[in-house]
Amino acid sequence: MRLAFFLFCLLCSTILPAHAAKTVLVMGDSLSAGYGIRPEQAWPALLGARVAEKRLDYSVANLSISGETTAGGRSRLEAALKAQRPAVVVIALGANDGLRGLPLGQMRDNLAAMIDAARASGARVALAGMRLPPNYGPYAEDFRRSFVDIAQAKKVPLVEFLLEPVAAHQRYFQADNLHPVADAQPLILDHVWPTLAPLLK
């Protein structure tokens, strides 16, 4: 019996990693959840593949939900931090706040609270911004500036516009003209990567 137990322990030591990978937690909306495409095609899933390819000691937990607002993300974050214990948190929320014309002061408060909560848990934070069509008028510029102001105030790295590399090309969008197709996802990841990579210490 003692020999069997020793052999079992030896086997476990060879097949289990010496320590668990650190986690990158993505809190986003449909643009990160992979709406209209397979989940494994979305940019957070491609991020998981990239860190594995580069042999970085990270895994990716994508807790993005289609339709999510900053208020929804804020309400879910505490439980997500406890469950995932992330080393890095990517906050990619706000698009639905803007499309619904929600008060920008509330959006900024929610983003700031999420950044503070993530940092209090010991995680490093990156913020991904969004933009609105010009027909939203002055609200669109205030919306864009909100992400810049929050990033500067909280001193977090910012991807100013998550969809920057694909926004001007209709071929990269589904029929609704809102959600990127699978072919757009590697371009989005390449856009996010320079901001995120320094946080993967």
Catalytic residue annotation: 30, 176, 179
Residue 134 token pair: 């010009």
Residue 91's nearest CA partner among 46, 42, 156 is: 156
Q: What is the DSSP letter of 107?
A: H
Dihedral over Cα of 96, 141, 188, 21: its sign:
negative
Residue 74 token pair: 């804020």
Round to whole Å and give the CA distance between 142 and 145: 5
Round to whole Å and give the CA distance between 133 and 181: 19
